[in-house]
Structure 1
Amino acid sequence: MSEHATSTDVLVIGGGMAGLAGALALRENGANVTLVERAPEFGEVGAGLQMAPNASRVLKRWGLLEKALEIGVQPKHLVFRDAVTGEELTRQTLNGEFEERYGAPYVVIHRSDLHRVLLEGCEAAGVKLVNDVTVESVETVGGRGVAHTLAGVDFEADVVIGADGLRSTLRPLVADDEPVSSAYVAYRGTVPITEKTPKADLEDVIVYLGPDCHLVQYPLRKGELLNTVAVFKSPSFERGEEQYGGVDELEAAYKDCVPAVQEALKNLATGIRWPMYDRDPIENWVAGRMVLMGDAAHPMLQYLAQGACQALEDAAALQDATVGTVFTGEGIKPEAWDVALREFNDVRAGRTARVQRTARVWGESWHVSGLARTLRNLLFKSRKDNNFQYNDWLYGQDGDGVPSVTAKRVAEKAAA
């Protein structure tokens, strides 16, 4: 620890997607940034993730999109099917007009690959990265944030960013709440694509919607891997068991699905399952000189595929909120942090709350049965390709978390 400075402009707590993105954004603005991570090494677990244009635009801003495209896949379509009949319900073409409208591509990428792109971006930018640091608490003393660690070493900074995930140690500073169980769990798996892999759909993101279950498949790593995610309502999770000893629940959940779905279950790694949680939205993420971002601020269910995307939006919004106020041509103005943090909070809390709530409703619509399923299918089939009315609020180029007043102030500062 002694080789690392314990006083810095910005201290980021958490080395996941949100922490790395926030660190890179503020380093780009000229701050001295130290990021601390409790794990002994940086890394990301899980399988694939979908990076919609509202996120890939942020990577494009930082000059990292090409690196993501080198290892990721640009699917041709997003396709929804009924898991019981196999019937196609709707599709969205993801190139051409879609990419032109939103100013960036739709990319699917392995979580570890996107994490590495952000980590290498931080390293190249000069972010100080420190492992094996467990932060127990943060307080504001004399206008600075002070992070107290398990090892007894204090880190001081003009501002502390809490990016420590769903079970954030720092969230109790702003909210007395707990994660909310969804009753759904996920099994994930990535397998090599071989000659025996069914060739249908290997260029698309395919979502099968079933009663109390769904299944997603898409290619990863330039088409070398097939990513499969199965999500279903779990009786054992409803009883409070995060892990479960067998696969009988998994098999039972998909017993009425078409053969293509049942065959895809063989691709899953069944040694661990992922219980699905979120939290209720909160309006305030700021306590003194500490601010939350990413899943610490707004954990969401995965149905809109926006968890990592919203973390990147957070970083972009924080970068914009501090340009011209905290970070000026004359140097850093620590006293401006309070205004910038409040502006960031005001910009982001409403948008992420909408994403959180919509993800819950979207998930409910995926998993209905009976008459509700019939009506859902009719609604989906009534939608035509390149009908953007359901996408614009989420992917639109004015949806990066920066309100017009902030954009106007940034422009005015730049022109002055």
Structure 2
Amino acid sequence: MASVLIAGGGIGGLAAAIGLARQGHRAVVLERREEFSELGAGIQIGPNGFAALDRLGVGQAVRDLAVYIDELRFMDGTTGERVASMPLTGGYRARFGNPYAVVQRVDLYGPLLAACHDDPLVELRGGSHVIGYEQDSGGVLALLADGSRLRGDALVGADGLHSSVRARLVGDGGPRISGHTIFRSVIPMERVPEDLRWNTVTLWAGPKWHFVHYPIGGGAYLNLAATRDDGAADVVTGRPAARETVLGAFPGLGATAGRLLELGEEWREWVLCDRDPVGDWTDGRVVLLGDAAHPMLQYAAQGACMALEDAVTLGELADCGPGEFPQRFEKYNAVRRARTARTQLVSREMGRRLYHPAGPDALARNRMLSAFSADELHDKVAWLHGARDFSETGL
């Protein structure tokens, strides 16, 4: 049995702990906050995400809390025109083997946390902020903010966008600020007019903005996420935003989308960040996972799924003794880097080409999307949603 330290107790860190424990390793999860909890609103889970959750043994627990969406709907946010719809029932589920669903973030995090609590090989340590590491031929030391050090046979950096482990391993500075501000709100579904209670993920695209909404919490709530390409240059994380600020940020928003946006309350804002893909996430006995390795914009709705795929791949390659971790980490890196890099870049490109065009570019986008059949739309996402070995790039 090896002892593996995991920096970060988010979705990726907990999933990694489960995957490593299933190979008989002791997994020690080091979380900077005192409590293991998850903030945030909605997460979309594609069939590849459910495939990963099944391999971690928590798929059914998440399914029991999910809302199964009928279609992904793309709307012109200024005219109200339905541009394209990708059905997610019938042929989609038959082709990809799993549903497409949305959950509250806690409804994904909770089953992962419960599985960690239930596994005697997983230890959860709150108030343990990893700020760096050292290593030698026999192991690795996690350096904590309180001055203490913990020794293990390996270290997984799952500490997110501002990863301290990445800072030591890659040394590429701060994340890339996208210039996009996202406003988020969650409202009770009972406040939503009956004619607007759609069982869809709906995206309204406009000039330098888009607006997404979908049901979460078993259908009890509506998740609202409105993004503005406003050139934001500073990192903002969860700052309260005035309602009038949000309503004024989306000029030209059509009547139906406007009715939904006006329902929002207690808005908060974030400035979206990602990083350029890098080829190497390993340093001997240390490796990165999830947002620490390949943070991406939300536009492909695959950030959580990619972290789950990482955890499954890493865990399944960890059927080894303590001395073999460097080689197994290199193999994990080689298997995952092309797929995650493509997802990072596709996510950026979706914002530029699909979600935010104006004028003639928006009309050209509408013509392009509206020409696709349902099967052709499924073909477009097959490399992402249909993956099962989690190395597929579709290239």
Answer yes or no: is the 8 Å Cα contact 2:299–2:350 preserved in 1.
Answer: yes
TM-score w.r.t. length of structure 1: 0.89
Amino acid at match of 2:359: G
For residue 141 of structure 1, report the CA deviation from its aligned partner: 1.9
Q: Distance in 1 between matches of 2:71 and 2:264?
A: 23
SS of equivalent to 1:352: helix
1:55 and 2:53 aligned: no
Match of 1:180 among 176, 179, 182: 176
Answer yes or no: is the 8 Å Cα contact 1:314–1:401 preserved in 2.
Answer: no
5+ long unaligned stretches in structure 1: 1-6, 327-332, 404-416
Of residues 291-300 and 381-390 in structure 1, the stretch that sits farther from structure 2 once superposed is 381-390
Q: Distance in 1 between matches of 2:292 and 2:12?
A: 9
For residue 145 of structure 1, report the CA deviation from its aligned partner: 1.1
5+ long unaligned stretches in structure 2: none
Q: Distance in 1 between matches of 2:156 and 2:233?
A: 33
Deviations 1:371-415 (A, max 9, x none): 110100000100112322211111123452389xxxxxxxxxxxx
Q: Which residue does the alignment assign to 1:260? A: 256
Closer, same or farther in 2 for the Cα pair 1:370/1:195, shift >3 Å? closer
Q: Which residue does the alignment assign to 1:32? A: 26
Q: Which residue does the alignment assign to 2:351? A: 363
Answer yes or no: is the 8 Å Cα contact 1:190–1:267 preserved in 2.
Answer: no
Match of 2:328 among 331, 335, 340: 340
1:382 and 2:378 aligned: no
Deviations 1:310-343 (A, max 9, x none): 00000111122223xx1xxxxxx11211110000
Closer, same or farther in 2 for the Cα pair 1:137/1:196, shift >3 Å? closer
Deviations 1:45-80 (A, max 9, x none): 110010011111111222312211221100111111
Q: CA RMSD in A?
A: 2.0
Match of 2:385 among 395, 412, 416: 395
Q: Distance in 2 between matches of 1:147 and 1:194?
A: 48
SS of equivalent to 2:379: coil
Q: Distance in 1 between matches of 2:195 and 2:54?
A: 31
Q: Distance in 2 between matches of 1:399 and 1:321?
A: 12
Answer yes or no: is the 8 Å Cα contact 1:75–1:107 preserved in 2.
Answer: yes
1:148 and 2:136 aligned: no
Amino acid at match of 1:379: M
Q: Which residue does the alignment assign to 1:298? A: 294
Q: Distance in 1 between matches of 2:392 and 2:125?
A: 30
SS of equivalent to 2:75: strand
Closer, same or farther in 2 for the Cα pair 1:77/1:146, shift >3 Å? same
Answer yes or no: is the 8 Å Cα contact 2:241–2:269 preserved in 1.
Answer: no
Q: Which residue does the alignment assign to 1:353? A: 341
Q: Which residue does the alignment assign to 1:74? A: 68
Task: Note the 1:226-265 alignment, pairs <5 A.
Answer: 226-235=222-231, 237-238=232-233, 246-247=242-243, 249-265=245-261
Q: Distance in 2 between matches of 1:267 and 1:340?
A: 50
Answer yes or no: is the 8 Å Cα contact 2:156–2:288 preserved in 1.
Answer: yes
Closer, same or farther in 2 for the Cα pair 1:58/1:20, shift >3 Å? same
SS of equivalent to 1:71: coil
Amino acid at match of 1:401: S
Closer, same or farther in 2 for the Cα pair 1:174/1:190, shift >3 Å? same
Answer yes or no: is the 8 Å Cα contact 2:185–2:264 preserved in 1.
Answer: yes
Answer yes or no: is the 8 Å Cα contact 1:10–1:34 preserved in 2.
Answer: yes
For residue 139 of structure 1, report the CA deviation from its aligned partner: 1.2
Q: Percent identity?
A: 33
Deviations 1:77-125 (A, max 9, x none): 1111100011111111112111121121111000111111111111112
What is the total number of aligned residue pairs between the two structures?
388
Answer yes or no: is the 8 Å Cα contact 1:9–1:32 preserved in 2.
Answer: yes
Answer yes or no: is the 8 Å Cα contact 1:85–1:258 preserved in 2.
Answer: yes
1:134 and 2:129 aligned: yes
Q: Distance in 2 between matches of 1:402 and 1:363?
A: 23
1:281 and 2:277 aligned: yes
